[in-house]
Homo-oligomer: A and B are copies of this chain.
């Protein structure tokens, strides 16, 4: 059973566990600071496929297979897949996962999809709706560039506020096990649109959504940033992270001591020429499903809030002069089940 404590926040009283997780990434991510935490690094980011979209599908499949292997589960034991990605009609997920023969809920939350899928899988597990569920998402630099910006061959220039779409996928298997990391809470984000229109500054478009969700969770649970070892956003990057800290300061909430962003952690921002940092569904997915969950499992991190953020625009809405709405879903992870 779960306990809804506000319109936005639900506490998971049975505290389901993340039984296993896997993160698979591309070459550039494998050259970054988190390299040793990833399960697979594909130096050939085509993964042997003829198109980038097929490469991304294969990567998502590979993440699920690796997570199943680590959990010592077969795909026939999984009752539900929660999956999504950035591509039009979410084809990375549908083509990547079609061979599994597992009931499938497709999601679209742009780069917030990792915490949308993990939140849903955890809510299902907490209420006995599944024994084992998988949350998975992915992004690929080359498929995202082609779809959202320009084909790679154009060699387009990128402004300093732009972010680098992570080539990566992360999968987490949720169920009841009595072992950490536990999922203890979920805050479901609202669509927040502050009128940002700069397609090369996604961090700025998404920061207000992260601000809203984090503030809501802290209010709903009557807790403060100091109560957490880490408050981790998905892919705000450098620009969005600074904005988030500023926005929360206006509410007398100081996040600066405990905030990190997956888009800043996954690359060496100076050396790897990624401008404002990493982005994409695969950014939060690959960082969370490797480094972060491992550190909670080891007891190094005790209480962690993960807030993946998504920009709910398309190239069409942008061309039609629309602003960029953001959304941010929060998952509260802990190394203890709580009282």
A109 at the interface (CB under 8 A from B): yes
1/0 per position for A82-104, CB-CB distance to B under 8 A?
00101111110011011011111
Given contacts A104-B188, A320-B53, is CB(A130)–CB(B4) below 8 Å? yes
CB distance from A261 to the nearest CB of B (A): 22
8 Å CB contacts to B: which residues of A98-127?
98, 100-110, 116, 120, 123-124, 127
Once the chains are docked, how many angstroms separate the CA of A252 from the CA of B267?
Answer: 57
> A72 at interface (Cβ–Cβ under 8 A)?
no
Task: Tell yes or no: A128 within 8 A of B by CB.
Answer: yes
Distance from A7 Cβ to chain B, minimum over Cβ atoms (Å):
5
Q: Which residues of B sit under 8 angstroms from A116, Cβ to Cβ? A: 105-106
Mark the stretch among A189-197, A224-232, A292-300 that contacts chain B. A189-197
How does the 8 Å CB contact mask read for A309-330 relative to B, with 1 for contact and 0 for none? 0001111110010100101000
Q: Is A8 an interface residue (CB 8 A)?
A: yes
Decide if B316 touches A88 in the complex (CB within 8 Å).
yes
With a cutoff of 8 Å between Cβ atoms, the chain B residues found around residue A1 in the complex are 127-128
Give Cα A120 to B130, complex, Å: 13
